[in-house]
Amino acid sequence: METVEMNSVSLKRPHSEDDVTNADEIKRQKISEESETGNDSGQSVETVTGQPDKSLLEDTKNEIIPNEESEEQEDEELEDSDEDGDPESFADMMKHGLTESDVGITKFVSSHKGFSGILKERYSDFVVHEIGKDGRVSHLDDFSVPVDDEVNFEDPSEETFTVLSDEDKQRLEELQLLKNKETSVAIEVIEDTKEKRTVIHQAVKSLFPGLETKTEDRDGKKYIIAYHAAGKKALANPRKHSWPKSRGSYCHFVLYKENKDTMDAINVLSKFLRVKPNIFSYMGTKDKRAITVQEIAVLRITAQRLAHLNKCLMNFKLGNFSYKNHPLKLGELQGNHFTVVLRNITGTDDQIEQAMHSLREIGFINYYGMQRFGTTAVPTYQIGRAILQNNWNEVMDLILKPRPGAEKGYLVKCREEWAKTKDPAAALKKLPVKRCVEGQLLRGLLKYGMKNIISAFGIIPRNNRLMYIHSYQSYVWNNMVSKRIEEYGLRAVPGDLTLKGATAVHIEEGDVDNYTIHDVVMPLPGFDVIYPKHKIGEAYKEMLVADNLDINNMRHKIRDYSLSGAYRKIIIRPQNVNWEVVAYDDPRIPLFTTDLDKLEGKPLPVLPTDGKFRALKMEFSLPPSTYATMAIREVLKMDTSIKNQTQLNTTWLR
């Protein structure tokens, strides 16, 4: 099968009186937001500033989150207030962003003619179901709460969540967190019945771990007195007797979410539950602009408390509860199942059949998708390269210097101040949002000084720092796999690499007929990998030499930045591939039912047999660390970069 060069195809928007995607959604649209171990894979990158998203801490202690107007909460409010804006300014910013060719994505493996279509016109056009390590696809199909066998323990009743006033909850939280000088909080019992007092006792103990209660008479009135059971220790070690020994320590549940990424969802859940996000665990992060279904585990939070959130949260649903003795770990998943609608397609029936048959039989080049590299004029791989070069002044400069393209106003002012003064304190004053990468680095420089950039950079969360060097690895891999396809096509050749178990070996001349392109892997550069024994092995070396890096010595002076290599398949062949072309008139209507639709008994809208528009509904399963957008790219033969799409679609950005 011959390879074909990439050509850009405009994604044309159908004319509709109602703009389906509002300005906020357009501005923050991403083709996909994925994780190395998660759904569409790759690491998520912040749309506006080009930095990686925050990640969960590895610590699993059950800590309580303060309810004060913290710096983090202030940051969120500022970010939220700045999200609305002129979509044209977003298009302007994208003029300085990356295209696929900038990051080595240049080849296709199929021979059909490309056609246009709209990806994620509605976030509900992109649905992801996680596939667990046992091969089971996660679905939300049960809201019931499991019943314990423990005789002496009762989950809090529904009344528990409403019996305390907001003022009571505020006072109790301040007491719990030792934020005032009070040693106790008194709650007057208006309805003096034993049943009512029992509910209040239970509410305080359930919602505020570490507090104990007693009943007292004062001036002829009854009060429930809340006090600390064990001082500060109670915060880190909630009352052990509050959790039955027969119950697993972790409540596992299925999280159904719409138009929210996994970290944002967990932050919301943690705030409503008054716990820290680090007690949640999961197997992979999922897209924001999508409907996603995945398994989550949380330490010592009852299913009943979680189920109660279904009544007060929008765009989330929790269900399929069970208690287990273990958390979840990143990378444990087997993959993800995607249901995707491409609207307003222009391809003929024959083109669509050819494209989908090729996807099922051959697959697609296993490129790292665009979200791996950021969306601004300073790609994340450039920062990663500077880290690997041990060029810390360059790292600092790339993160903080002014950059072309539209940005949030406070970032522009911060960068201008930095360029003018090189004073971290002055630049930080221009930056109300302190927990972005720029703010974290400036705080580090303020703390450690300009001569200790390494320590200053170390203030940024570890996973975020590592995303930069992984972005560089991905950049190299994309370029090398394009060269490999160009040089040798879709066949295994002597000198290629294949995996035998976890070990990579070279394919020998006499053994080449026993392998296909689907067996071939290529290395991500690192200190523990081997390279192909043909032209591509030399190309790796040449590329790293041009970047002032030694391919034979990828160990860094700082252990965290020593790149361990890995191997990645050249071609991925999706499993469970199905497709259907449907007609529709209204771009606002859904074209398939979701898990929540099924639970709520919502029927699928009746579609016309001869509608104004056509859509391609496609389903497929992918392993971890692969990108659904790269599969869709192969079908449409389009450039998936936001820069390309905004340039080609300026009419619908207005």
Are the CB atoms for 617 and 580 separated by under 8 Å? yes
| 287 catalytic residue (yes or no) | yes
DSSP calls for 455-514? HHHTTS-HHHHHHHHHHHHHHHHHHHHHHHHHHH-SS--TT-EEEETTEEEEPPGGGGGG
- The CA distance from 506 to 520, in Å, is 10
Phi-psi region of 259 (alpha: psi -120 to 50; beta: other; left: phi over 0): left
> Which one of the listed residues 155, 287, 595, 639 is annotated catalytic?
287
330/190 Cα distance (integer angstroms): 49
Q: CB–CB of 361/517 below 8 Å?
A: no
DSSP per-residue letters across 398-428: HHHS--SS---HHHHHHHHHHHHH--HHHHH
Amino acid at 361: E
Q: Which helix (H) or strand (E) holds 562?
A: none
125-164 as b/e: b if 16+ CB within 10 A:
bbbbbbbbeeeeebbbeeeebeeeeeeeeebbeeebbebb
Q: State the CB neighbour count (10 A cutoff) for residue 97.
A: 22
In 3D space, the residue among 176, 242, 258 whose CA is nearest the CA of residue 206 turns out to be 242
Q: What does the chain come to in residues?
A: 654
Question: Which residue numbers are catalytic?
Answer: 287
